[in-house]
Amino acid sequence: MPRAHIALDRKAVVGPVRRRTFGSFVEHLGRCVYTGIHEPDHPTANEDGFRTDVVELVRELGSTTVRYPGGNFVSGFRWEDSVGPREHRPVRRDLSWHSLESNQVGLDEFARWLKLTGSELMLAVNVATRGILPALDLLEYANHPSGTALSDLRIANGTPEPHDVRMWCLGNEMDGPWQTGFMTADDYGKIAARTAAAMKAADRDLELVVCGSSGSGMPTFGDWERTVLEHCYDHVDYVSCHAYYQVHDGDLGSFLASSLDMEFFIDTVLATADHVGHKRQSKKRMNISFDEWNVWYLEEHKASDEVNHEWRHAPRQLEDVYTVADAVVVGNLLMTLLKRSDRVTSASLAQLVNVIAPIMTEPGGPAWRQTTFHPFAITSRLASGEVLRPLVDAPTYPTARHGEAPLVDAVATVDDGRAAVFLVNRDLSEPARVTVDVRSLGLSRVTEALTLADADPYAQNTLADPLRVVPAANTSAVLADGVLDVELPPVSWTAIALG
């Protein structure tokens, strides 16, 4: 049995646990909105048509912020279509996902839904095909209290209080040739700088996110961030990162080590951002909004006919059914985001319902938790206070995509009178015995220990069997004399709470 030892030092603080790390993403794509969060004829629907069974699951998930309304969708979006009387809202073609958008759910309705879930709105503006003035108009409509044309329009539309949106995304994946209105780094950097400066002239306390490269595998990666930030470093607060992972050619070992690629991505973007900051002799420190991350079987979807020549309302698109291994990777990626909470201060699991999502629904039927729901929900519930940098001594194994990877990974958080340790065993066949030195934390008992694992790493939760995979109590976890001892099953994710 592989053995690993982890040492925790109460003084080895990375940074605070950022509640925005536990954000999510709702895009007008597939069934994320329609028959996902919104289904007026569903037995659980409220007066706005939102499914309250989904609301309850989102609250359980612990999602803190929601990026909206895209994604690729935002690059063709006219925000004015989504407000006012529903019967007057136009149906538009969405070129990004080749579908029809009814605009029956818009800004005001979505903001009311967010209040039900207890989440904060992160709003994206269309800088790809529109520009500065529409962004300023949306800002006025959303945030100005009253007494102007657009704030009074919001009030007339039934929303007397401003939405007070703090975080704004300046477009989406603007270096991607799939993006409607994609641009060069130079062109995007200029329009992003002008848009950001104008928005901050309206409200200097806004938090603005500029688009980084669409992924670390893009030919533009690195140079894109440098060029864009040289234009708008003084006007924005975050640069975005997007990353998706999947099993390639059955290589489960490499897939389980996906967090190593995320670490590389974060380090590279921060190095580029800091380089630009130093060149400009700026005292500002640019942070990262990792506002799209997940497991996504993109290769399989590209080979399907999900996006075809038909123009359909809310077609079934990107509805990945996740496995135990997928959940272990999602849990590990979330651990990685916590490890960099000094600079990664916002993140969004993409997406929330039906579309590569932790929550699934059936029209007129139930809603259920995917395997990936559980590590996210448990981490959001247990992580608080400060993130500690663990010292991990574990055997390694070779991977084709990431080189040598440790069999065991870990991160910990500590708060007044409690702590949490999050662990992953990447071994495909053997359990791992792990000891964690927690003496510096001054805690004496295990209050909760949960492990997500299965004899079949490809086991899934489905409509027919929604409880096939659930976390189970890990009775091997014992804390004695300041040392936590626990056994981790192969291909597993574990959370242990201490008090």
Residues that are catalytic: 173, 292
The encoded tokens of residue 375 equal 């590590």
The Cα-based distances of 210 to 105, 269, 371 in angstroms read: 26, 13, 32
C-alpha to C-alpha distance for 290 and 307, rounded to whole angstroms = 27
Beta strands in 426-460 (DSSP E): 432-437, 446-452
Nearest to residue 90, comparing CAs of 203, 315, 80, 122? Answer: 80
The encoded tokens of residue 184 equal 């060069």
Reduce the DSSP state of residue 351 to 3 states and report it.
Answer: coil
Q: List phi, psi (to 5°) of 161.
A: -90, 140
Start-to-end C-alpha separation, the chain? 28
Other CB atoms within 10 A of residue 38 CB: 23
Nearest to residue 91, comparing CAs of 104, 109, 106? Answer: 104
The encoded tokens of residue 166 equal 């703090």
Nearest to residue 83, comparing CAs of 166, 4, 140, 23? Answer: 140
Q: What is the dihedral of CA 275, 278, 279, 281, to 10 degrees?
A: 160
CA 368 to chain centre: 19
